[in-house]
């Protein structure tokens, strides 16, 4: 059976390292933010950090906290039928519950690192950098308004990303081996 993994964590923790690594190793990657960007483009809305945040929050006000999971459920199902699939950008507890009900084998991998390291990484980003106050605001908004803490706290596995890339990938591969072994025992 194919595997379905969602990578969760706070901004700047290194989620995209895991999702890109899996994609490079043959997994299908589904980016939750991409669904939001696609809808914004169709509606002719310029994509900026502010407009994306506002659109995402309005989408969730209108359709509930699991809106993006509902939008992507069909795409996830089709990808998962074909091959291993990794989800990049699952945020809310409702999104997790929707997907866990539909896909009982879904596993959560949380990427964590010290806050100061995350903030430093985000400030240096080429794409969507934030200053110190902006990232604090983003963290608080994601925790308070998006219920992001639930999937992070309830993750099946954790990668601590304060060190180098080799240790990160080693831990990710350890997790994948455990998942593979568990699937083989079923």
Q: Is residue 76 part of a domain?
A: yes
Query: Residue 155's domain spans which residues?
Result: 4-176
Q: How far is CA 8 from CA 43, 113, 136, 184, in A?
A: 28, 12, 18, 25
Q: Is residue 45 part of a domain?
A: yes
Q: Is residue 184 part of a domain?
A: no
By the 8 A CB rule, do 107 and 5 touch?
yes
Q: Is residue 103 part of a domain?
A: yes
**What 8-state DSSP symbol labels residue 61?**
H
Type and span of the H or E element at 171: helix 165-185
By the 8 A CB rule, do 17 and 170 touch?
no
Q: How many residues does the chain have?
A: 186
Q: Is residue 186 part of a domain?
A: no
Interatomic CA distance for residues 173 and 186, integer angstroms:
20
Q: Is residue 181 part of a domain?
A: no
Q: Is residue 183 part of a domain?
A: no
Global pTM reads: 0.91
Output the pLDDT for position 186.
61
By the 8 A CB rule, do 60 and 67 touch?
yes
Q: Is residue 185 part of a domain?
A: no
Output the pLDDT for position 33.
86
Output the pLDDT for position 18.
96
The terminus-to-terminus CA distance of the chain in angstroms comes to 10
Strand-by-strand arrangement of the 107-112 sheet:
28-31, 85-88, 4-8, 107-112, 157-160
Interatomic CA distance for residues 107 and 112, integer angstroms:
16
Q: CATH number for the domain including 87?
A: 3.40.50.300
Tell me the pLDDT of the chain (186 aa) as tens digits.
899 999 999 999 999 999 999 999 999 999 998 888 999 999 999 988 789 888 988 998 898 999 999 999 999 999 999 999 999 989 899 999 999 999 999 999 999 999 999 999 999 988 778 889 989 988 998 898 888 999 999 999 999 999 999 999 999 999 999 999 987 666
Counted domains in the chain = 1
Give the Cβ contact number of residue 147 at 10 Å.
Answer: 18
């Amino acid at each position: 059976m194919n595997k379905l993994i969602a990578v969760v964590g706070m901004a700047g923790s290194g989620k995209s390292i895991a999702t890109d690594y899996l994609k490079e190793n043959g997994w299908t990657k589904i980016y939750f933010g991409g669904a939001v960007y696609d809808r914004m483009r169709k509606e002719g809305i310029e994509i900026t950090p502010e407009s994306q945040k506002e659109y995402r929050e309005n989408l969730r006000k209108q359709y509930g906290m699991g809106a993006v999971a509902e939008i992507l459920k069909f795409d996830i199902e089709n990808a998962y039928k074909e091959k291993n699939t990794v989800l990049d950008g699952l945020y809310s507890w409702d999104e997790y519950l929707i997907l866990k009900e539909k896909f009982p084998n879904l596993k959560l991998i949380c990427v964590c690192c010290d806050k100061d390291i995350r903030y430093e990484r985000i400030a240096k980003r080429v794409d969507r950098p934030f200053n110190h106050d902006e990232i604090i605001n983003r963290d608080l908004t994601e925790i308070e308004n998006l219920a992001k803490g639930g999937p992070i706290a309830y993750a099946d596995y954790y990668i601590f990303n304060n060190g180098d890339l080799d240790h990160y990938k080693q831990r990710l591969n350890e997790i994948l081996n455990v998942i593979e072994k568990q699937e083989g025992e079923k």
